[in-house]
Amino acid sequence: MDRLFDTVIVRPPGESYKNCVSTNPKHKSIDVNLAKKQHKEHVKILKEHGLEVIELKSLENNPDSVFVQDTGIVGVNSNLTVLSRFGEPSRRGEEESIKEVLKKEDFKIRHVEEHGTIEGGDVLVTDQGVVFVGLSQRTNTEGIKQQVQFFPEVKFISVPISKIFHLLSGVNYLGNKTVAISPHAVDIEYFKGFKFITIPEDELYANNMLYLGEKKVLLPVGYPKTEEKLRREGFKPVLVNVSEFWKGDGGVTCLNLPFYKHL
């Protein structure tokens, strides 16, 4: 199995989700009941594909907490979790909510200290001994520097981004040294040596996809060109409707905190 992770943490949206931080013009039309249904469907798909899913309770005091990926970086190989220090100040504190769960799973816990910031959505883990980190509005140089110190066995490459919030909104790893990438949002020069599947500019949102292993890729519904490109390369798209998370500036990857096997 070429999966990057076998276990993920998820957290359903609470009633407060409609108050999440979002620049999407449709933000005000978030339907929380529909978001809850879509989240359940997302979890069902993960389980159907053999992943172990640790389901947490929603956090009403943290409207963005459904986007649990951002709370930390979990490495199975190193038995280490680095808890994020959010670049978005209103989200600080969310990382504490997963600490107890990860302690129960016997992970050592480390914290990114002030003045560093890092969010999980900026961290692209591969099985090639290299991790790419977005230098973004949410993740700064000091946060990346601390990350490098926590995982000394891994090579880190810093990738500056300005057109997207998080690196994983513009590039994702699909196993076998292949990345799905949006060249208008992320400079492909940083990914030399990898095979590229370029995502059309008008389907940027589809680039926020999740590799499930065995050529299966979880993809938001409604992006036919991306779907076709993936099929042509031998991948099997698995479609999920995440319209209410799109409205909250989130995507497929954001809804899971993976336990990375190669970190």
250 is written with which tokens? 């989130």
Bridge partners, residue 257, by sequence? 9
Q: Is 254 a catalytic residue?
A: yes
φ, ψ at 236 (rounded to 5°): -115, 100
CA–CA separation, 70 and 210 (whole Å): 15
The answer to whether 166 is a known catalytic residue is yes
Annotated active-site residue in 42, 115, 166, 184: 166
How far is the C-alpha of 179 from the C-alpha of 199, rounded, in Å?
A: 10
Give per-residue burial for 48-59: e unless 16+ CB within 10 Å, then b: eeebeebebebb
Map 136-197 to HEC letters.
CCCCCHHHHHHHHHHCCCCEEEEEECCCCCCHHHCEEECCCCEEEECCCCCCHHHHCCCEEE
* Residue among 42, 111, 254, 262 flagged as catalytic: 254
Residue 81 CA to residue 84 CA, distance in Å, equals 9
Write out the catalytic residue numbers: 166, 254
